[in-house]
Amino acid sequence: MTEASPGPIAPGAASLPPGTRVADRYEIASVVGEGAHGIVYRARREPEGDTVALKILHRHLSGDPKVRSRFHREADILRRLQGEHVARALDFLEHDGLLVLVLEYVEGQALEDLLAERATLSPNEAVEIALQICAALGAAHAAGIIHRDLKPANVIVERPDETPGQGGSPIRVKVVDFGLGKVTHGGHPSAISLTEQGMIFGTPEYMSPEQARGEDADARSDLYALGVMLYQMTVGEVPFTGKSPIEVMTAHLREPVPSPRARKPSSPITPSLEVVILRALGKQPGDRYATARDFALAVAAARDATRVVSAGNILTTSQALDDTDLHLVMPDLKAAREKRMRDREAERALSQGSAAAQPFTTTEALASTESIPAPPPGKERSLPPPPAQPAPSPAAPTLAASAGPAPGASTSRGTKSEPIVVATSPVTVRTARPAIPAQSNRSTLIWIIVAILAAGIGVAIGALVGGR
């Protein structure tokens, strides 16, 4: 941080008038925007002569230790970030009791204002913006930073009047305002300690369920917020609204996400894009895309109306999907989540013992992998029943009967026509062999011994009699 001598700033002024010099290097030109914590100005930097943005904390908040700490944290976070789609921090200084963050100036319009003007964007525009936000989040997450307040107001769109692929300059996006950002690794203790347990951070309309519960947020919370934004860009409104923040947060926790295509039938939302949006808005973090890169790959594939992005894989079809096709794909998302849960449970079971001692079985039928849509109703796939196994003796029960479910394993009751054992990871499933009755073995062995002894005794007696 650079300390500067006081300049010609009027004490108590609500905003700085044009021409005001800050730290003898920056001359205020105009106000760009104002928020609850500060004002953003467009300014000229000397001696470079270029245009920069000055984010200046409100004077009445400058004495608040928590607000000051968060402002310092934002400056620290931006210093760590390197990315084409993140506004860079150029300087951080204190001048006349005011905290000033000097940022790269982005010539453009907030996505919030753009949506207020146009209500919805074309699917191509929405996808292009989402891809660039994914790039920004990818850079932040790689640096161990979670935004926690991603929303249209914090996304600047350059040249929003130009549409990609229509001969004009492409849309360029920058993500700004990491004031509520969280450092997950590599940060100094003061930055990490600002993430108080049980506190709620973010904007209710874009808040993930775990944030609404006051739980720790990770990268998937940012991806949930991006899912809300993608929903809003294509539908024209956020999925959940309410009369109060509590009502909105409760909806994120409990209410199913309304179908984008059903909510906005006139919008040209493809089935592919709807699948991507709905997965991004999964209630549990594990239901969503794991990384910004995964989200970006899915969104990019959704440009093509003949593709469906299922749970981690891209499916291609010979023609555009209709509502029936989409209905068939949706169960696959649930099946994929159950598959991931079984994978984790199987790995946990194997880590606690050998495969023979820790069987993981399920009678729940899973006729498709996460890359194959579920079959239409009435055309369910059937598997032949397994060959009958000899009944085990009560004295030597099989592993499946004696061991029970492995610790952490999940068993469920399925249909009689499709009882299968699912092994979704490269592990070996061993079936128990029928035990040989122990009593029968002992009897046979005793008779063999008796016969040998009797033969030996007969030979001995014959030899004694012959000798006489």
Residue 330 · residue 380 · CB < 8 Å? no
**Model pLDDT, residue 353:** 52
Q: What residues contact residue 84 under an 8 Å CB cut-off, 6+ apart?
A: 135
pLDDT in tens, the chain (468 residues): 433 333 444 444 468 999 999 999 999 999 998 888 889 999 999 999 999 999 999 988 888 888 888 888 888 888 888 889 998 899 999 988 899 999 999 989 999 999 999 999 999 999 999 999 999 999 999 999 999 999 999 999 986 454 444 444 478 999 998 888 888 865 443 333 334 444 567 899 999 999 999 998 999 999 999 999 999 999 999 999 999 999 999 999 999 999 999 999 988 999 999 999 999 999 999 999 999 999 999 999 997 655 554 444 444 333 333 333 344 344 454 565 566 677 777 777 666 654 333 332 223 322 332 333 444 444 444 444 444 444 444 443 333 333 333 334 333 333 333 332 333 333 333 434 444 455 556 677 787 887 788 777 877 777 776 665
Cβ neighbours for 453, distance < 8 A, ≥ 6 positions apart: none
* Whole-angstrom distance, CA of residue 209 vs CA of residue 217: 10
Predicted structure pTM score = 0.62
Rounded to whole angstroms, the Cα distance separating 326 from 309 reads 11
| Residue 64 among the catalytic residues | no
Sign of CA dihedral 176, 179, 184, 185: positive
Delineate the domains of the chain, giving CATH numbers in brackets: 2-8+15-104 (3.30.200.20), 109-321 (1.10.510.10)
Task: Please state, in angstroms and as integers, the Cα–Cα distance from residue 309 to each residue in 115, 195, 305, following that order.
Answer: 26, 35, 10
The two structure tokens encoding residue 2: 């650079």
Q: Is 79 in contact with 88 (CB distance < 8 Å)? A: no
CB 348 within 8 Å of CB 293: no
pLDDT in the model for residue 410: 37
Which pLDDT score, from 0 to 100, does residue 448 have?
Answer: 81
User: What pLDDT is stored for residue 284 in this prediction?
Assistant: 96
Scan for tokens 């525009």, then name that residue: 125
Catalytic residue among 149, 177, 287, 332: 149
Burial class (CB in 10 A: 0-12, 13-18, 19+), 463: exposed
